[in-house]
Structure 1
Amino acid sequence: MPEMTFEIRWPDGAVASCYSPSLVMHDYLVEGADYPLAEFVDRSTTALRVASERVAARYGFACTSAMQQESEIVAVAGRYPGGTVRVLEMFPPLPAPETAPASGSGSASASEAVS
């Protein structure tokens, strides 16, 4: 199961590195995006619970690291009255989608094919 880290900047400018046992964080957070504090807490804790459930499904036990990360996010967020959290980096990034080759690649163009 691929694990990942995501780096965030809290409302006061403090930067934190966070851990997830699953790439599922990419389904809930976007690198470079700003989230209102409450929304960030909701998205990240939901994603960490999903990640822990994936670990449990695969290995038969929940991921204590994901639960610890969730607790840390909630505790730190409680220190702020509001503001935004910026997702600075997510590593590893999702692979870029493959693009289809250009049609007619390597063959005669449509105008050349018609005689």
Structure 2
Amino acid sequence: MPAMHYTLRWPDASETTAYSPSLIIQDYFEPGRAYRLDDFAQRLQAATAIANERVQAKFGFVCSRANDQQATLLARIAQFAPQPEAEVTVLAFGPAD
């Protein structure tokens, strides 16, 4: 199953490299585009659910790494929740290690 990384820029200008076990993440995010926190969270959850369905179908179990990544990103989003105009920018997609 083709996995990938994607790079995010947070409202504080810090950057994170995230993991997806499926290329589906590219269907939900566009490089160079900024997403409001709630929109980013909804897209992330939808993409992770589909990725997990694909992993489940192929291997018989969901991807714990994808679930952990989602939890980490949602916790990071929560840190910026007090900032009503905060956005996450998807910088790039790249191959997984």
**Structure 2-normalised TM-score?**
0.90
Give unmatched runs, 5+ long, in structure 1: 93-115
How far residue 26 of structure 1 moved from its aligned partner, in angstroms, is 0.7
Percent same amino acid at aligned positions? Answer: 39
Larger helix fraction of residues: 2
Q: Aligned partner of 2:88: which letter? A: V
Partner of 1:88: 91
Between the two proteins, the alignment pairs up a number of residues equal to: 92
Aligned twin of 2:32: 32
What is the aligned partner in structure 2 of residue 5 from structure 1?
Answer: 5
1:65-84 residue pairs with structure 2 within 5 A? Answer: 65-80=65-80, 81-82=82-83, 83-84=86-87
Give RMSD over aligned pairs. Answer: 0.9
Residue type of the alignment partner of 2:91: L
More RCO (CA 8 Å, sep 6+): 2
Identify the structure with the greater strand proportion: 2
Moved over 2 A (4+): none
Structure 2 portions without partners, runs of 5+: none
Q: Whose radius of gyration is greater, 1 or 2?
A: 1
